[in-house]
Amino acid sequence: MPVPPNDARREVATDRAGLDEVDRAILRILAEDARLANNAIADRVGIAPSTCHARIRALRERGVVRGFHADLDPAALGLGLQAMIAVQLSAHTKQQIEAFVRDVPRLPGVVSAFHVAGADDYLLHVAVRDSDALRDFVLDHLTGHPAVRHTETSLIFAHLPGTLTGLGLAD
């Protein structure tokens, strides 16, 4: 029987950046529990363990999977306060800006840094012990920095992780 050009079978293979449904199922599982045994993943997605092993290796080599990380609770590490700090840089000091960009991810307390377009240049997500530590962070590393023109700190009440729907892996 002939296959129409817009047949669903073709979309499964070509859509979604070259990932088939088995790949997406594997990714969904690994995004949720990165320590699940290869055997168990294979079972769940309905392929042999050796096939599953090869698939995961390929996904890693293709860069779809960048790594596997433990998710640590900042509060349990004594970092009870989180904040988002919007940073505006001064426009004229290219070299100082590059220095800022290079150093920011390594500052103590920075969970992640977003380089953004718009009124602000950077958004720094920081986790610190308490409000004293937050003040110290801003004064020691931001306010005094020659590339920094302005900062605005917002306390984070809650940080809700998105579901996998967010990465287009919904079933």
Partner DNA sequence: AATGAAAGCGGTTAAAG
Partner DNA sequence: CTTTAACCGCTTTCATT
From the list DNA, its own copies, none, which binds 139 (C-beta under 5 to 8 Å, kind-based)? none
96 contacts DNA (rule: CB under 7 A):
no
13 contacts DNA (rule: CB under 7 A):
no
Residues 87-126 that bind its own copies (CB under 8 A): 104-120, 123, 125-126
Place of tokens 């240049």: 121
Q: Minimum CB separation from DNA for residue 165, in Å?
A: 25
- Token couple for 43: 């079972």
Instruction: Spell out the long-range contacts of 29-33 with Cβ–Cβ below 8 A and sequence spacing 24 or more.
Output: 30/56, 30/65, 30/68, 31/164, 31/167, 31/169, 32/164
Q: How far, in Å, CA of 4 to CA of 160, rounded?
A: 43
Q: Of 26, 32, 56, 70, whose CA–CA distance to 44 is shortest?
A: 26
Q: Minimum CB separation from its own copies for residue 48, in Å?
A: 20
- Cβ closest to DNA, residue 57 vs residue 115: 57
Q: How far, in Å, CA of 157 to CA of 74, rounded?
A: 13
Q: How far, in Å, CA of 132 to CA of 98, rounded?
A: 28
Q: From residue 5 to residue 44, what is the string marking binding to its own copies with x (rule CB under 8 A)?
A: ----------xxx-x-------x--xxxxxx---------
- Total binding residues toward its own copies, as defined by CB under 8 A: 68
Q: Where do contacts with its own copies occur on this chain (CB under 8 A)?
A: 15-17, 19, 27, 30-35, 62-74, 76-79, 84, 104-120, 123, 125-127, 129, 152, 154-163, 165-170
Q: Where do contacts with DNA occur on this chain (CB under 7 A)?
A: 22, 37-40, 47-51, 53-55, 58
